[in-house]
């Protein structure tokens, strides 16, 4: 079995344990099934509203993104050939991960995630490789709703952007942020926000606190005080993302 070179994303649903505790696993499965129905159309629609100029090419590449679920986690992996990854392939996975996270969020499943790059093995649903572990560890450390790149993946993202004579800073979905992680620590990471650029200035962004809290509280989930930190950190990051994007529009 030859190793595959590419990108890996790992998303972890926050508060999923509440469904199990409340004997609502079947309900959770039904909701997740609804989230994934029409996912392709949602990703393509998001492409149309994004920075990607060659949407048709990216849509075709979307077919190569493998999406798997495991308990409260969602795993994406995307094979990419060559030493330098084309920017359209980077954006295909980044946008796919953002759309999935937003659809989960809108359906009451706030999540945290991470993206890694490198070689991995995949066959018949069997996955193994450092990128999966790197993405898993980073996602588990985040204390807010976002998708962060591992430092290695971020370095590669910038290198591939330079090689393609592109500007990674112009990608609207992400921004560098002093991210809160477990252990009361902060780490500067490149983080993706599930908000859409065309939502800036709308009611959705004017009352982020209510938007975020509704997602955490949906489906009669219990939300202990320990989760308040994640809610507050999410509002802070999303507000920060809005501020940076507003500056780029001036």
DSSP H/E element including 49 = none
The Cα–Cα gap between 10 and 92 comes to: 15
- What does the pLDDT read at residue 70? 78
Q: Phi/psi class of residue 95: alpha, beta or left (left: φ > 0; alpha: ψ in -120 to 50)?
A: alpha
- What was the pLDDT predicted at 51? 46
Beta strands (DSSP E) in 124-184 are 126-128, 147-149, 174-181
Q: Which residues pair with 9 in a beta bridge?
A: 76, 115
Neighbours of 213 (CB within 10 A): 17
pLDDT of res. 82: 83
SS3 (DSSP) at 53 = coil
* Distance between CA atoms of residues 136 and 130, nearest Å: 10
pLDDT score at 68 = 82
The tens-digit pLDDT sequence of the chain (250 residues) is 678 899 999 999 887 666 555 555 666 667 667 666 666 666 656 655 554 444 444 555 677 888 887 777 889 999 998 888 998 899 889 988 998 899 889 888 899 999 999 998 887 777 888 999 999 999 999 999 999 999 999 999 999 999 999 889 888 899 999 999 999 999 999 999 999 888 888 888 889 999 999 999 887 777 778 889 999 999 999 999 999 988 876 6
Asked if 21 and 143 count as a contact pair (C-beta separation under 8 A), the reply is: no
Classified as helix, coil or strand, 172 is coil
Which domains occur in the chain, in start order? 4-249 (3.30.70.1230)
Element housing 30 (H / E): helix 25-36
- Report in angstroms the alpha-carbon separations of 27 from 108, 219, 240: 12, 9, 34
């Amino acid at each position: 079995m030859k190793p595959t070179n590419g990108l890996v994303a790992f998303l972890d649903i926050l508060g999923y344990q509440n469904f199990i505790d409340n004997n609502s696993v079947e309900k959770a499965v039904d909701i997740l099934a609804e989230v994934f129905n029409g996912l392709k159309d949602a990703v393509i629609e998001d492409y149309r509203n994004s920075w990607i100029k060659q949407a048709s090419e990216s849509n075709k590449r979307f077919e190569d993104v493998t999406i798997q679920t495991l308990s409260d986690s969602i795993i994406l992996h995307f094979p990419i050939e060559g030493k330098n990854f084309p920017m359209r392939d980077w954006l295909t996975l980044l946008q796919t991960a953002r759309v999935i996270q937003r659809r989960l969020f809108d359906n009451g499943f706030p999540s945290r995630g991470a993206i890694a790059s490198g070689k991995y093995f995949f066959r018949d649903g069997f996955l193994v490789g450092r990128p999966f572990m790197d993405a898993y560890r980073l996602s588990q450390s985040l204390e807010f709703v976002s998708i962060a790149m591992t430092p290695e993946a971020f370095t590669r993202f910038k290198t591939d952007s330079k090689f393609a004579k592109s500007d990674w800073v112009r990608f609207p979905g992400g921004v560098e942020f002093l991210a809160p992680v477990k252990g009361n620590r902060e780490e500067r990471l490149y983080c993706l926000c599930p908000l859409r650029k065309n939502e800036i200035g709308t009611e959705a962004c004017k009352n982020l606190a209510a938007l975020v809290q509704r997602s955490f509280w949906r489906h009669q989930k219990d939300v202990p005080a320990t989760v308040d930190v994640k809610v507050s950190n999410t509002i802070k990051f999303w507000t920060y993302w809005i501020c940076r994007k507003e500056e780029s529009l001036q």
